[in-house]
Structure 1
């Protein structure tokens, strides 16, 4: 019998270069017609925050016109795709009579609830400050305030978040010796301190964008059955990110909070599992592998992912972030050698440490 882990699906569509509205229409025309759409993530490259705002509005208007009252979680990520001019990542669901799917909004942001006998599953996204010219610290605090309102409205505790995608404009840049990623980490830590985390922090990615300020997407879960669970997955080859020493954190004139996420998170429903693979890079212990080239960093990254998903994990989708766009052909050839036969997207993006050339995240089933 199919359960939640079987029913949720992941796809990536790509549009070739054309007018922006035409590309959005092309991608929307490729959506599966027989599934409930839970999340849409558009990934493209505007040339400024002004253009980003304009294109984000175009996306929202077109998606709302397409779906009407059944609008999925929606976000626009300002990263240059390395294959295609505009990408669309789709999270969808093969619902049946046992599933109730609700499309709602908070502060104008659409989100989705799936409710069945196994649990309640929340899909939220596009959390973003109103003004992109505010500091990263102020934007991060505003974003977590939005998330808090949604969780309270739907009765999800903060520690029900199982997966979080954190997009941070100019992630490695600093203002007054306060690195943007560290500013985000401090705001996230303050939000997370409102509760305890008996089942571990969420799986997460913190990745750079060229524009857009802070954007956060998330999945949250409340399980109903005794034979269902959410568990953190450690990598014995790495120190947990939330246990990093101050030596590897960015210099900051304020507190230095560690990145509060697990290497992966396992959602187990009866005899099926869904593994959320956090942003993963060539780190052993808590140290990056430096000056070893892309090929070796990719190999170590994939070894780390294999350690997380184990022998029974089957990858469903991957995102590959490259620090230098000239690496894309080499990265594709190296990834093709793994013969995964799953959707893989390639983006040009700043990774959270200057010495890291590649980061990979994904979803696996087991």
Structure 2
């Protein structure tokens, strides 16, 4: 029988979970700090920085000035580039990102295929082989109908590029549409030398079990991922989906309330504390810019003091108006 002291030692030997914070600072200052694994700027106002740990996300933030998102580890960080993949690593953790222009890669399906082939090839060279969390930002995500919708084409290309890479289980993930003028597919991930524990939501059908009406290829992601030390939950993009069906079409407030119910169910399943606090940063993706102030007011009322970045982004189903993702730290 494993004793409590042995469990504590096992957790002590696991990579220390990175911190995730939102800050009003400059990229230079954030990147100069010890242990910075990655830093993210948002929207057209974010500068170009010649550092592979820096990523400008093509989503406009409703905050002005937009804060940076900073990931930090308790270790020295090294970084570089391999083909189209930029990366950084330290303390048993890995950040990797790729951006491809659809105009040179055969559209969204071709870009997704190439991006995931390159990421899979890159990951095969790393000790941090366990991908725990992925973000996918896709231009015009809802354009097209039926199997021709761009999100469904992305899912087809992604699955073909991945092959059996996630045969042992899917990571947590987000897929959001951006409004950048260029059709750029941006993907980034967090990986570790140790595996996490995927968590599903009992209120929702697992994404890879969606029926055919959602496309030839079901989305492949877990609803959440407990990080190796079991002290943090990476939360996938979460919206007003019950079972596999979108709820409350056209009702922003009801969709947000349903989303919060889904988050609470996920926290309970993961044995995490209920609710969110000042150390649990979230992102909110709002389809219509005119809804941003209402979403902010609702979140401030329901999640007081919780840091939330509100972004202008399209949810992968066109009837859904808002989506949340983020982190819950113990």
Q: Shared fold (TM-score greater than 0.5)?
A: yes
2:138–2:186 contact (8 Å) kept in structure 1: yes
Q: How far does residue 85 in structure 1 lie from its aligned partner after superposition?
A: 5.2
In structure 2, the gaps of 5 or more residues are 1-7
1:341 aligned residue:
305
Alignment RMSD (CA, Å): 2.7
Q: TM-score, normalised by structure 2?
A: 0.85
CA distance in 2, matches of 1:190, 1:153: 20
1:44–1:87 contact (8 Å) kept in structure 2: no
Residue 107 in structure 1 maps to residue 83 in structure 2:
yes
**What secondary structure does 1:183 align onto?**
helix
The farther-off stretch of 34-43 and 104-113 is 104-113
Q: How far does residue 302 in structure 1 lie from its aligned partner after superposition?
A: 0.9
2:264 aligned residue:
306
**What secondary structure does 2:186 align onto?**
strand
Residue 152 in structure 1 maps to residue 152 in structure 2:
no
CA offset digits 1:41-71 (Å, max 9, x no partner): 221048xxxxxxxx7xx5133xx3xxxxxx5
2:85–2:119 contact (8 Å) kept in structure 1: no
Q: How far does residue 87 in structure 1 lie from its aligned partner after superposition?
A: 4.3
In structure 1, the gaps of 5 or more residues are 15-25, 47-54, 65-70, 224-228, 251-255
TM alignment of 1:9-158, pairs within 5 A:
9-13=19-23, 27-28=26-27, 31=30, 34-45=33-44, 59-61=48-50, 64=51, 71-72=52-53, 74-84=54-64, 86-93=66-73, 95=74, 99-107=75-83, 109-115=85-91, 120-125=92-97, 127-129=98-100, 132=103, 134-157=106-129
2:246 aligned residue:
288
CA distance in 1, matches of 2:88, 2:225: 21
Residue 238 in structure 1 maps to residue 204 in structure 2:
yes
1:5–1:365 contact (8 Å) kept in structure 2: no
Q: How far does residue 356 in structure 1 lie from its aligned partner after superposition?
A: 0.4
2:101–2:184 contact (8 Å) kept in structure 1: no
The size of the alignment, in residue pairs, is 311
1:22 aligned residue:
none
1:104–1:111 contact (8 Å) kept in structure 2: yes
Residue 166 in structure 1 maps to residue 176 in structure 2:
no
**What secondary structure does 1:290 align onto?**
coil
The farther-off stretch of 79-88 and 277-286 is 79-88
Q: How far does residue 34 in structure 1 lie from its aligned partner after superposition?
A: 4.6
Select which of 170, 177, 193 maps to 1:208: 177
Q: How far does residue 338 in structure 1 lie from its aligned partner after superposition?
A: 2.8
CA distance in 2, matches of 1:206, 1:258: 13
CA distance in 1, matches of 2:31, 2:93: 20
2:4 aligned residue:
none
1:187 aligned residue:
157
Q: How far does residue 349 in structure 1 lie from its aligned partner after superposition?
A: 1.2
Residue 221 in structure 1 maps to residue 195 in structure 2:
no
Select which of 221, 229, 241 maps to 1:261: 221
CA distance in 2, matches of 1:29, 1:101: 15
2:84–2:99 contact (8 Å) kept in structure 1: no
1:168–1:215 contact (8 Å) kept in structure 2: yes
CA distance in 2, matches of 1:85, 1:35: 24
Q: How far does residue 79 in structure 1 lie from its aligned partner after superposition?
A: 1.8
1:276–1:363 contact (8 Å) kept in structure 2: yes
Q: TM-score, normalised by structure 1?
A: 0.77
